[in-house]
Amino acid sequence: MSKTRHDGEPLVRGYAVTHPPGAARLPVAAGWDQLVYAASGTMTVSTAAGSWTVPPARALWIPAGEQVRIVNRFRVAVRTLYFAARLNALPPETRIVTVTGLVRELLLHAVTHSPLDLDAPVDSALLTLLVDQLHQLPDEPLWLPSPAGSALAFTAAELIREDPARPISSLARTAGVSQRTLERGFVAATGTTLGVWRRHARILASLHYLAAGTSVTETASAIGYSTPSAFVAAFRSQLGSPPSSYLQL
């Protein structure tokens, strides 16, 4: 990765902010990749291609040129590193990874001490080690595709994001079509069934509640599950561990 400086401009910058509940946009400039980390709380980061839910101890890599929007149901502490795109720090594709232990400490240290001077041996070594570790991390299944080319499917997806507990029959009534028509249109727009997409959306929505300290029982009710046990089973099926331990990293 090239570390050449141009006109004394730093090639790695840091940004720390706590967002209240609601929507926000990250500061972004042309020619900068972003590594967005949730120090506490959960956020959903949307691009044209879809949305990534970023709970605590996870980080989202956003390549230069992507316009993103953040939505969080509760407060979220965001720590962001900006990398000059010419560094080619990571491949130019959006991905989300788990950040714990050494990688977390490196990331937080880099944010705190930014901008990094890559002509300085310590800063250069920090960046090299951080990027090397990030390359080795596996992706997390925390992405939802955005419906493409269908206003009907897009509206249904937005309604689910706003209220994960809303029944599919209610979505169809709001859209003014039959449930069968809605389901067919959704498959065409996303490549997956409305039921599967909604199930994953519900589990991702639950991360907002769980990270805010909401109990499993209350979270299950908030996202539309009739019993906590049904929610726990669905959560384990989607993310590989029960909600009680998923965020305990």
Q: What's the pLDDT tens digit per position in 38-86?
A: 999 999 998 878 899 999 999 999 999 888 889 999 999 999 999 999 9
Q: What is the rounded distance in angstroms from the CA atom of residue 170 to the CA atom of residue 56?
A: 32
Average pLDDT, the chain: 91
Whether 5 maps to a domain, the answer reads: no
* 113 CB burial (10 A radius; 0-12, 13-18, 19+): middle
Whether 141 maps to a domain, the answer reads: no
pLDDT per residue over 114-124, tens digit each? 999 999 999 99
Helix axes 194-211, 228-239, angle to 10 degrees: 100
pLDDT per residue over 159-212, tens digit each? 999 999 999 999 999 988 999 999 999 999 988 999 999 999 999 999 999 999
| CATH number of the domain within which 203 lies | 1.10.10.60
Whether 7 maps to a domain, the answer reads: no
157 plus 120 within the same structural domain: no
56 plus 102 within the same structural domain: yes
CA distances 87 to 64, 105, 215, 233, Å, are: 11, 21, 43, 43
Strands (DSSP E) found in 121-165: 143-145
Could you tell me the pLDDT band of residue 150, with boundaries at 50, 70 and 90? Answer: confident
- 1 has a pLDDT exceeding 70: no
119 plus 215 within the same structural domain: no
The two structure tokens encoding residue 186: 């959704």
Q: What number is the average pLDDT over the span 17-46?
A: 89
210 plus 190 within the same structural domain: yes
197 plus 155 within the same structural domain: yes
Give the residue numbers spanning the domain of 183.
147-246
Domain limit, last residue, from 90, 108, 135: 135
| CATH number of the domain within which 88 lies | 2.60.120.10
168 plus 205 within the same structural domain: yes
Q: Which residues pair with 84 in a beta bridge?
A: 32
Whether 29 maps to a domain, the answer reads: yes
